[in-house]
Amino acid sequence: MIIRALQRSFSTAQVCEKPLAPDAPTGAIAVYIRPGPEALGPMQHVAARGGKVLVFGAPAPDILPLLGLEAVAAVSLEGLDAAEMCFTEHHHASPGLVRYTEHPLALASPLRQRFFRRYDYAEWNNLGYGAITTDGSAFAADGGIAPREAVELAGILRQERRQPPRYLGPYITLHDRSRGSLLWCARPVGPLDSVEWQVVERFICDWRPDLCCLPCLLQTPKGCACLVTMRLDCDEDIRSARPLFDWYLSRGVPFSLAVKTGLDMGPEDVALLEAVRESGGTLLSHSRTHPLCWGADVAQALEEARSSREWFGQQWPDQPLPRLAVSPFHTNPPYAVQALAQAGYAGFVGGIIHSDPECNLGRAGLVPFAEGIVSISQQSMLHGDSFRNQGEGVAVHVEACNAQKMARGIFGYLDHPFSQRYQYGWDSEQQRIQAHALLLDAVGCEESVWFWNQQQCFDFVSALAESALRLEDDTVSGQSSREDVEYRLRGKTTLLRPGS
């Protein structure tokens, strides 16, 4: 997971896997996950020769002094991630949270704080990040460590209702030395499921320009601060989306529909799908029958993925088969993602705090445990239920978009068409359109915010995944299939020219 996260940021050309990197060259950058005592020598080697070291999770005690840390009596983190799903309130959040300091590197995080777990409606977190657990897994925070010489960038706190927050220990620390710099995060996967991954990116590409820095691919095209993309997931009905489609068309904003192809469709349903396609929107697969996890095993997932694509081919035989999907319930166990790739998909929308954390990505791109497939996490759900519970406003969605803007990322949000059975909390179509108008007016007021359909977003993400960056003798070279890809190095943004 860490390797994939680094590849999403720095391209596959700059990331390689070595057990300990004992022979790392001068000015190297080395990453360790819960390293044992045998890693101390190689880490000292890197940190003494103009390099940088990143450590995720609790290291062996012998390594702590090198990181500017020390062992202390462990404070229990049990229950810090406890939060019930939310149905009638503004949101539910765990007592545990991470809060960032005002240190220059900490300011790279677009979020000033994140809860261990947060729900806006049911199992969805509209702010987009995943869950920090306390179960000892790779997604849990490790305790029993305190800063000694290191500077704290973010700390772990317990916030009970009507009580002042109680400090429990560091989450991210920085230890600068004369010829090296070391970053530590209490979580073995680091902050890869959140825009907080920006701290890792900036540490590698910008921090301490006198040390080794590597160029980092930027997530949006030249001139774009944030890509905004919307979609409707057609779980139960299609034609009822016509009023919202017409409204988006009047605003000149691209429209995307994810289709559960097993629905009983009539002429009005198909006509709307054709209108979306002909207007420059995107049609995506949403499986055939909408099963959890695409099915109970790889065989069922493969059948769902293939049969859904085949339906599009039967409906529009002169059009290419879709290569994009939206996962039912955003559930993506590894076998399902592998089935999608095997069925011919190149990308999928996923990301949800409730399950499959390895596919809740703080930055879009290549996913772990599968080859040749990318994903964009789009967890911001604009539903009538949360709209009503949050004061008939869109402030949380705007906050999520602003965080992506700071990260030069992609903000995706979703809604659903009505059905006779379920209206997704909306009182009327008029109320729903007013809510969408509020959101578009709030996030689209800057020229540098671009509205793209899902296909356009995935085309760019796929191009980034295929781009290559290299740094040799302090000179950046690389290649990309596009002419609008940029990279950042030592605080400067530069266009990556194709074949440079």
Per-residue pLDDT for 499 more than 80? no
Return the SS3 of 197. helix
Q: What pLDDT sits at residue 419?
A: 86
Q: What pLDDT sits at residue 25?
A: 80
Strand 69-71 and strand 145-147: the pairing is antiparallel
Mean pLDDT computed over 341-369: 98
Q: What is the pTM of this model?
A: 0.97
Identify the band that residue 18 occupies on the pLDDT scale cut at 50, 70 and 90.
Answer: confident
Per-residue pLDDT for 24 more than 80? no
pLDDT tens figures, 38-73: 999 999 999 999 999 999 999 999 999 999 999 999
Q: What pLDDT sits at residue 200?
A: 99
Q: What pLDDT sits at residue 162?
A: 83
Specify whether the CB–CB gap between 414 and 380 falls below 8 A.
yes
Virtual torsion, Cα 316, 318, 323, 324, nearest 10 deg:
-40
Q: Which residues pair with 258 in a beta bridge?
A: 233, 284
* Residues in CB range of 147: below 8 A, 6 or more apart: 68, 69, 70, 170, 173
Q: What pLDDT sits at residue 357?
A: 98
Mean pLDDT computed over 253-270: 97
Mean pLDDT of the chain: 97
Mean pLDDT computed over 213-220: 99
pLDDT tens figures, 389-428: 999 999 999 999 999 999 999 999 999 999 888 999 999 9
- Alpha-carbon span 327 to 340, nearest angstrom: 10
Residue matched to tokens 């073995």: 188
Q: What 8-state DSSP symbol labels residue 38?
A: G
- Alpha-carbon span 361 to 351, nearest angstrom: 7
Q: What pLDDT sits at residue 273?
A: 98
Instruction: With CA atoms as reference, report the closest residue to 378 among 346, 409, 417.
Output: 409
Per-residue pLDDT for 251 more than 80? yes
- Alpha-carbon span 376 to 385, nearest angstrom: 24
% pLDDT > 90, the chain? 94
pLDDT tens figures, 78-120: 999 999 999 999 999 999 999 999 999 999 999 999 999 999 9
Q: What pLDDT sits at residue 333?
A: 98
Per-residue pLDDT for 474 more than 90? no
Domains of the chain plus CATH, in order, are 1-214 (3.40.50), 226-460 (3.20.20.370)
- Alpha-carbon span 152 to 141, nearest angstrom: 15
Q: What pLDDT sits at residue 173?
A: 99
Identify the band that residue 21 occupies on the pLDDT scale cut at 50, 70 and 90.
Answer: low
- At residue 28's C-alpha, the angle toward residues 25 and 29, to 5°, is 150
Per-residue pLDDT for 500 more than 80? no
In this structure, which amino acid lies at residue 306? R
Phi then psi dihedrals of residue 411, to 5 deg? -105, 115
- Alpha-carbon span 368 to 378, nearest angstrom: 17
